[in-house]
Amino acid sequence: MKKIKGILITLIMIYVATAILGENFLGGYNQGKLLERTGLYGLLAIGVAFVIITGGIDLSIGSVVCLVGCGVPWLVMRQGWSPGSAVAIAMVVALCVGLWHGFLITKLKLQPFVVTLCSLLIYRGATRGLAEDQSQGFGGEHEAFRQWGTEAIEVTDKFGIPYPFVILIVVAIIAWVFLNKTIWGRYLFALGNNEEAARLSGINTDRMVILSYVICSMLAALGGLLFILNGNSAQPSDFGNFYELYAIAAAVLGGCSLRGGEGTIVGVVIGTAVMQLLKNMINLVDWLKSHMEFLIVGIVLLVAVIADEMIKQRVRKLK
Protein backbone atom coordinates (compact mmCIF):
# COMPACT_ATOMS: atom_id res chain seq x y z
CA MET A 1 0.00 0.00 0.00
CA LYS A 2 2.82 2.40 0.91
CA LYS A 3 4.44 1.88 -2.45
CA ILE A 4 1.35 2.86 -4.40
CA LYS A 5 0.26 5.72 -2.15
CA GLY A 6 1.78 8.44 -4.32
CA ILE A 7 0.34 7.24 -7.58
CA LEU A 8 -3.06 6.54 -6.02
CA ILE A 9 -3.25 10.11 -4.71
CA THR A 10 -2.24 11.39 -8.18
CA LEU A 11 -5.02 9.32 -9.76
CA ILE A 12 -7.64 10.56 -7.33
CA MET A 13 -6.57 14.19 -7.73
CA ILE A 14 -6.72 14.11 -11.52
CA TYR A 15 -9.99 12.19 -11.40
CA VAL A 16 -11.64 14.73 -9.11
CA ALA A 17 -10.21 17.67 -11.08
CA THR A 18 -11.53 16.28 -14.36
CA ALA A 19 -14.90 15.52 -12.81
CA ILE A 20 -15.20 19.17 -11.79
CA LEU A 21 -13.69 20.80 -14.89
CA GLY A 22 -14.66 18.39 -17.68
CA GLU A 23 -18.00 17.98 -19.37
CA ASN A 24 -19.94 14.73 -18.83
CA PHE A 25 -16.80 13.11 -17.43
CA LEU A 26 -18.72 11.01 -14.91
CA GLY A 27 -21.17 9.69 -17.53
CA GLY A 28 -21.31 5.91 -17.89
CA TYR A 29 -20.08 5.99 -21.48
CA ASN A 30 -16.92 7.90 -20.62
CA GLN A 31 -16.18 5.79 -17.54
CA GLY A 32 -16.52 2.65 -19.64
CA LYS A 33 -14.17 4.03 -22.27
CA LEU A 34 -11.58 4.91 -19.61
CA LEU A 35 -11.68 1.34 -18.31
CA GLU A 36 -11.41 0.02 -21.86
CA ARG A 37 -8.30 2.09 -22.61
CA THR A 38 -6.74 1.21 -19.26
CA GLY A 39 -7.32 -2.44 -20.16
CA LEU A 40 -5.66 -2.14 -23.56
CA TYR A 41 -2.59 -0.16 -22.51
CA GLY A 42 -2.37 -1.82 -19.09
CA LEU A 43 -1.52 -5.22 -20.58
CA LEU A 44 1.55 -3.72 -22.25
CA ALA A 45 2.55 -1.97 -19.02
CA ILE A 46 2.28 -5.15 -16.89
CA GLY A 47 4.41 -6.94 -19.48
CA VAL A 48 7.16 -4.36 -19.45
CA ALA A 49 7.01 -4.19 -15.64
CA PHE A 50 8.26 -7.80 -15.48
CA VAL A 51 11.25 -6.89 -17.61
CA ILE A 52 11.93 -3.66 -15.69
CA ILE A 53 11.79 -5.49 -12.35
CA THR A 54 14.66 -7.70 -13.54
CA GLY A 55 16.61 -4.58 -14.47
CA GLY A 56 16.01 -4.93 -18.22
CA ILE A 57 14.06 -2.93 -20.80
CA ASP A 58 11.94 -3.85 -23.83
CA LEU A 59 11.67 -1.27 -26.61
CA SER A 60 10.05 -3.66 -29.08
CA ILE A 61 6.56 -3.66 -27.50
CA GLY A 62 5.02 -1.25 -30.02
CA SER A 63 6.40 -3.30 -32.89
CA VAL A 64 5.04 -6.54 -31.41
CA VAL A 65 1.67 -4.75 -31.11
CA CYS A 66 2.05 -3.88 -34.80
CA LEU A 67 3.11 -7.41 -35.79
CA VAL A 68 0.12 -9.03 -34.08
CA GLY A 69 -2.34 -6.18 -34.72
CA CYS A 70 -1.65 -6.30 -38.45
CA GLY A 71 -0.71 -9.98 -38.67
CA VAL A 72 -3.91 -11.46 -37.25
CA PRO A 73 -6.32 -9.61 -39.60
CA TRP A 74 -3.90 -10.29 -42.45
CA LEU A 75 -4.02 -14.03 -41.74
CA VAL A 76 -7.78 -14.05 -41.27
CA MET A 77 -8.88 -11.73 -44.10
CA ARG A 78 -6.18 -12.19 -46.75
CA GLN A 79 -5.01 -15.76 -46.09
CA GLY A 80 -8.34 -17.24 -45.06
CA TRP A 81 -7.25 -18.57 -41.65
CA SER A 82 -9.75 -19.07 -38.86
CA PRO A 83 -9.48 -16.47 -36.08
CA GLY A 84 -8.57 -19.18 -33.57
CA SER A 85 -5.60 -20.47 -35.54
CA ALA A 86 -4.45 -16.91 -36.33
CA VAL A 87 -4.45 -16.04 -32.62
CA ALA A 88 -2.66 -19.29 -31.78
CA ILE A 89 0.12 -18.64 -34.27
CA ALA A 90 0.40 -15.01 -33.08
CA MET A 91 0.95 -16.23 -29.53
CA VAL A 92 3.52 -18.80 -30.66
CA VAL A 93 5.36 -16.05 -32.56
CA ALA A 94 5.27 -13.83 -29.46
CA LEU A 95 6.62 -16.72 -27.37
CA CYS A 96 9.49 -17.15 -29.83
CA VAL A 97 10.13 -13.38 -29.82
CA GLY A 98 10.47 -13.42 -26.03
CA LEU A 99 12.71 -16.51 -26.07
CA TRP A 100 14.88 -14.90 -28.75
CA HIS A 101 15.29 -11.66 -26.77
CA GLY A 102 16.09 -13.63 -23.63
CA PHE A 103 18.58 -15.83 -25.47
CA LEU A 104 20.45 -12.85 -26.95
CA ILE A 105 20.54 -11.05 -23.62
CA THR A 106 21.55 -13.96 -21.37
CA LYS A 107 23.61 -16.22 -23.62
CA LEU A 108 25.27 -13.72 -25.96
CA LYS A 109 25.39 -11.11 -23.17
CA LEU A 110 23.99 -8.37 -25.40
CA GLN A 111 22.45 -5.30 -23.78
CA PRO A 112 18.63 -5.39 -23.56
CA PHE A 113 18.40 -1.84 -24.92
CA VAL A 114 20.31 -2.78 -28.07
CA VAL A 115 18.58 -6.13 -28.60
CA THR A 116 15.07 -4.72 -28.31
CA LEU A 117 15.93 -1.56 -30.25
CA CYS A 118 16.94 -3.77 -33.19
CA SER A 119 13.76 -5.78 -32.68
CA LEU A 120 11.71 -2.59 -32.76
CA LEU A 121 12.97 -2.01 -36.30
CA ILE A 122 12.89 -5.64 -37.41
CA TYR A 123 9.30 -6.51 -36.41
CA ARG A 124 7.88 -3.31 -37.84
CA GLY A 125 9.86 -3.77 -41.02
CA ALA A 126 8.77 -7.40 -41.26
CA THR A 127 5.12 -6.45 -40.73
CA ARG A 128 5.32 -3.77 -43.42
CA GLY A 129 6.79 -6.32 -45.80
CA LEU A 130 4.27 -9.01 -44.89
CA ALA A 131 1.26 -6.73 -45.23
CA GLU A 132 2.80 -4.87 -48.18
CA ASP A 133 2.16 -1.63 -46.29
CA GLN A 134 -1.60 -2.06 -46.69
CA SER A 135 -4.07 -1.11 -43.96
CA GLN A 136 -5.36 -4.19 -42.14
CA GLY A 137 -8.73 -4.75 -40.50
CA PHE A 138 -11.69 -7.11 -40.42
CA GLY A 139 -14.01 -4.95 -42.56
CA GLY A 140 -17.51 -5.68 -41.32
CA GLU A 141 -16.81 -9.35 -40.69
CA HIS A 142 -15.95 -11.56 -37.68
CA GLU A 143 -18.13 -9.57 -35.29
CA ALA A 144 -18.20 -12.41 -32.76
CA PHE A 145 -14.40 -12.58 -32.68
CA ARG A 146 -14.13 -8.81 -32.40
CA GLN A 147 -16.40 -8.76 -29.34
CA TRP A 148 -13.36 -9.57 -27.20
CA GLY A 149 -12.16 -6.05 -27.90
CA THR A 150 -15.42 -4.16 -28.20
CA GLU A 151 -18.07 -5.62 -25.90
CA ALA A 152 -18.71 -5.02 -22.21
CA ILE A 153 -20.45 -6.71 -19.31
CA GLU A 154 -23.49 -4.49 -18.95
CA VAL A 155 -24.00 -2.93 -15.55
CA THR A 156 -26.43 -0.14 -16.33
CA ASP A 157 -27.96 1.11 -19.55
CA LYS A 158 -24.96 3.30 -20.34
CA PHE A 159 -22.17 1.70 -18.37
CA GLY A 160 -20.52 -1.66 -18.78
CA ILE A 161 -17.22 -3.20 -17.79
CA PRO A 162 -15.37 -3.65 -21.09
CA TYR A 163 -13.88 -7.06 -21.88
CA PRO A 164 -10.36 -5.62 -22.32
CA PHE A 165 -10.55 -4.36 -18.73
CA VAL A 166 -11.80 -7.73 -17.47
CA ILE A 167 -8.89 -9.39 -19.26
CA LEU A 168 -6.50 -6.87 -17.68
CA ILE A 169 -7.84 -7.65 -14.21
CA VAL A 170 -7.44 -11.41 -14.75
CA VAL A 171 -3.88 -10.90 -16.04
CA ALA A 172 -3.10 -8.49 -13.18
CA ILE A 173 -4.29 -11.00 -10.55
CA ILE A 174 -2.19 -13.78 -12.07
CA ALA A 175 0.81 -11.43 -12.30
CA TRP A 176 0.34 -10.28 -8.72
CA VAL A 177 0.17 -13.85 -7.39
CA PHE A 178 3.20 -14.82 -9.47
CA LEU A 179 5.29 -11.88 -8.24
CA ASN A 180 4.25 -11.89 -4.61
CA LYS A 181 3.24 -15.42 -3.71
CA THR A 182 5.62 -17.67 -5.64
CA ILE A 183 9.31 -18.33 -5.31
CA TRP A 184 9.88 -17.23 -8.92
CA GLY A 185 8.50 -13.79 -8.10
CA ARG A 186 11.07 -13.50 -5.31
CA TYR A 187 13.75 -14.62 -7.73
CA LEU A 188 12.76 -11.86 -10.17
CA PHE A 189 13.05 -9.16 -7.52
CA ALA A 190 16.31 -10.62 -6.21
CA LEU A 191 17.71 -10.71 -9.70
CA GLY A 192 16.75 -7.07 -10.30
CA ASN A 193 18.32 -5.96 -7.03
CA ASN A 194 21.63 -7.69 -7.56
CA GLU A 195 22.06 -10.20 -10.35
CA GLU A 196 25.47 -11.40 -9.16
CA ALA A 197 24.25 -12.05 -5.62
CA ALA A 198 21.15 -13.80 -6.95
CA ARG A 199 23.22 -16.08 -9.15
CA LEU A 200 25.67 -16.89 -6.35
CA SER A 201 22.77 -17.82 -4.09
CA GLY A 202 21.83 -20.52 -6.56
CA ILE A 203 19.10 -18.84 -8.62
CA ASN A 204 19.14 -19.74 -12.32
CA THR A 205 19.13 -16.07 -13.30
CA ASP A 206 19.32 -16.67 -17.05
CA ARG A 207 16.12 -18.66 -16.97
CA MET A 208 14.36 -15.92 -14.98
CA VAL A 209 15.50 -13.19 -17.38
CA ILE A 210 14.29 -15.21 -20.38
CA LEU A 211 10.97 -15.78 -18.61
CA SER A 212 10.50 -12.02 -18.07
CA TYR A 213 11.02 -11.27 -21.77
CA VAL A 214 8.62 -14.06 -22.75
CA ILE A 215 5.93 -12.64 -20.44
CA CYS A 216 6.52 -9.15 -21.85
CA SER A 217 6.27 -10.18 -25.50
CA MET A 218 3.22 -12.36 -24.92
CA LEU A 219 1.36 -9.59 -23.11
CA ALA A 220 2.35 -7.16 -25.87
CA ALA A 221 0.88 -9.64 -28.36
CA LEU A 222 -2.32 -9.98 -26.34
CA GLY A 223 -2.52 -6.18 -26.18
CA GLY A 224 -1.92 -5.88 -29.93
CA LEU A 225 -4.69 -8.39 -30.58
CA LEU A 226 -7.17 -6.48 -28.41
CA PHE A 227 -6.13 -3.16 -29.99
CA ILE A 228 -7.01 -4.38 -33.47
CA LEU A 229 -10.22 -6.10 -32.31
CA ASN A 230 -11.21 -2.81 -30.70
CA GLY A 231 -10.20 -0.31 -33.38
CA ASN A 232 -10.48 -2.50 -36.50
CA SER A 233 -7.93 -0.46 -38.44
CA ALA A 234 -4.15 -0.83 -38.49
CA GLN A 235 -1.53 0.63 -40.78
CA PRO A 236 1.77 -1.32 -40.52
CA SER A 237 3.88 1.84 -40.74
CA ASP A 238 2.43 3.47 -37.64
CA PHE A 239 0.28 1.00 -35.66
CA GLY A 240 1.57 0.80 -32.08
CA ASN A 241 4.26 3.45 -32.64
CA PHE A 242 5.71 4.60 -29.30
CA TYR A 243 3.42 2.29 -27.29
CA GLU A 244 6.51 0.91 -25.53
CA LEU A 245 7.12 4.38 -24.19
CA TYR A 246 3.56 4.68 -22.87
CA ALA A 247 3.97 1.26 -21.25
CA ILE A 248 7.33 2.14 -19.69
CA ALA A 249 5.97 5.50 -18.50
CA ALA A 250 2.98 3.79 -16.87
CA ALA A 251 5.25 1.23 -15.21
CA VAL A 252 7.56 3.93 -13.87
CA LEU A 253 4.60 6.00 -12.69
CA GLY A 254 3.39 2.86 -10.95
CA GLY A 255 6.57 2.58 -8.93
CA CYS A 256 8.87 0.42 -11.05
CA SER A 257 12.50 1.46 -10.79
CA LEU A 258 14.50 1.34 -14.01
CA ARG A 259 17.41 0.18 -11.84
CA GLY A 260 15.47 -3.03 -11.26
CA GLY A 261 14.23 -4.85 -8.17
CA GLU A 262 11.19 -2.67 -7.54
CA GLY A 263 7.61 -2.52 -8.77
CA THR A 264 4.04 -3.50 -8.00
CA ILE A 265 1.35 -4.71 -10.35
CA VAL A 266 -1.37 -2.61 -8.72
CA GLY A 267 0.85 0.46 -9.13
CA VAL A 268 1.38 -0.30 -12.82
CA VAL A 269 -2.38 -0.62 -13.45
CA ILE A 270 -2.98 2.67 -11.64
CA GLY A 271 -0.09 4.24 -13.57
CA THR A 272 -1.76 3.22 -16.82
CA ALA A 273 -5.07 4.63 -15.64
CA VAL A 274 -3.36 7.96 -14.82
CA MET A 275 -1.93 8.17 -18.35
CA GLN A 276 -5.30 7.46 -19.96
CA LEU A 277 -7.11 9.78 -17.57
CA LEU A 278 -4.74 12.62 -18.46
CA LYS A 279 -5.40 12.21 -22.19
CA ASN A 280 -9.15 12.08 -21.52
CA MET A 281 -8.91 15.20 -19.37
CA ILE A 282 -7.12 17.14 -22.10
CA ASN A 283 -9.98 16.37 -24.50
CA LEU A 284 -12.78 17.09 -22.04
CA VAL A 285 -11.55 20.24 -20.32
CA ASP A 286 -12.12 23.22 -22.58
CA TRP A 287 -9.10 25.33 -21.78
CA LEU A 288 -6.60 22.49 -22.11
CA LYS A 289 -5.46 22.37 -25.73
CA SER A 290 -4.82 19.03 -27.36
CA HIS A 291 -1.44 20.07 -28.74
CA MET A 292 -0.29 20.41 -25.13
CA GLU A 293 -0.87 16.69 -24.49
CA PHE A 294 2.78 15.61 -24.43
CA LEU A 295 3.70 18.65 -22.35
CA ILE A 296 1.08 17.88 -19.72
CA VAL A 297 1.73 14.13 -19.64
CA GLY A 298 5.47 14.76 -19.41
CA ILE A 299 5.14 17.24 -16.54
CA VAL A 300 2.77 15.02 -14.55
CA LEU A 301 5.09 12.06 -15.07
CA LEU A 302 8.08 14.07 -13.85
CA VAL A 303 6.27 15.51 -10.83
CA ALA A 304 5.02 12.04 -9.84
CA VAL A 305 8.49 10.54 -10.12
CA ILE A 306 10.05 13.39 -8.11
CA ALA A 307 7.38 13.11 -5.40
CA ASP A 308 7.85 9.34 -5.26
CA GLU A 309 11.62 9.70 -4.88
CA MET A 310 11.26 12.29 -2.12
CA ILE A 311 8.84 10.10 -0.17
CA LYS A 312 11.25 7.18 -0.46
CA GLN A 313 14.17 9.27 0.76
CA ARG A 314 12.18 10.47 3.75
CA VAL A 315 11.19 6.90 4.59
CA ARG A 316 14.85 5.85 4.43
CA LYS A 317 15.87 8.68 6.78
CA LEU A 318 13.13 7.77 9.26
CA LYS A 319 14.40 4.21 9.33
Partner 1 sequence: MKNFLACTVAFGVFAFSGCGEKKDGKASYALVTTGVASFWDICKKGGEDAGKELDVDVEVLMPSSGDDQKLKLEDLLAKGVDGIAVAAIDPINQAGLFDEVAEDSILITMDTDAPTTKRQVYVGMDNYDAGWMCGELVKEAIPGGGEVILFIGRLEQDNAKRRRQGVIDCLLGREKDASRYDAPGQSQIGAKYTVLATLTDQFDRAKGKANVEDMLTKHEGVDAMVGLFAYNPPLILEALKQAGRIGEVKVIGFDEDEVTLQGIKNDSVYGTVVQDPYEYGKRSIEILDALSKGNTSVIPENKFVDIPARQIRKDNVDVFWSDLNSKLGK
Least distance in Å: CB of 221 to partner 1?
A: 16
- 279 near partner 1, rule: CB under 8 A: yes
> Going residue by residue from 115 to 134, which x/- string records binding to partner 1, judged by CB under 8 A?
-------------x----xx
By CB under 8 A, tell whether 193 contacts partner 1.
no
**Interaction of residue 232 with partner 1, rule CB under 8 A:** yes
Q: Position 238: which residue type?
A: D
C-beta of residue 248 within 8 angstroms of C-beta of residue 48: yes
Contact with partner 1 (CB under 8 A): which of 231, 266, 296, 311?
231
Question: Given the complex with partner 1, which of 32 and 56 has the nearer CB atom?
Answer: 32
The yes or no reply on residue 227 touching partner 1 (CB under 8 A) is yes
- Answer for which of 78, 181, 207, 289 binds partner 1 (CB under 8 A) is 289
- Quick one: which of 106, 193, 194, 237 contacts partner 1 (CB under 8 A)? 237
Segment contacting partner 1 (CB under 8 A): 206-214, 226-234, 252-260, 266-274? 226-234
**Binding partner 1 by CB under 8 A: which of 101, 239, 247, 268?**
239
Q: Is 283 in the site for partner 1 (CB under 8 A)?
A: yes
Site size with partner 1, rule: CB under 8 A: 38
Instruction: Read off the amino acid at residue 141.
Output: E
Smaller CB distance to partner 1: residue 24 or 156?
24
7-66 residues near partner 1, rule: CB under 8 A: 22-25, 27, 29-30, 33, 37, 40
Give the one residue of 238, 259, 303, 306 binding partner 1; rule: CB under 8 A. 238
Residue 211 CB contacts under 8 Å (≥ 6 apart), including other chains:
102, 184
In the region spanning residues 149 to 178, those forming contacts with partner 1, defined by CB under 8 A, are 150
Strand pairing category for 160-162 and 152-154: antiparallel
Least separation in angstroms between CB 215 and partner 1:
23
| Interacting residue ranges for partner 1, rule: CB under 8 A | 22-25, 27, 29-30, 33, 37, 40, 128, 133-135, 137, 139-140, 150, 227, 230-239, 241-242, 279-280, 283-284, 289-291
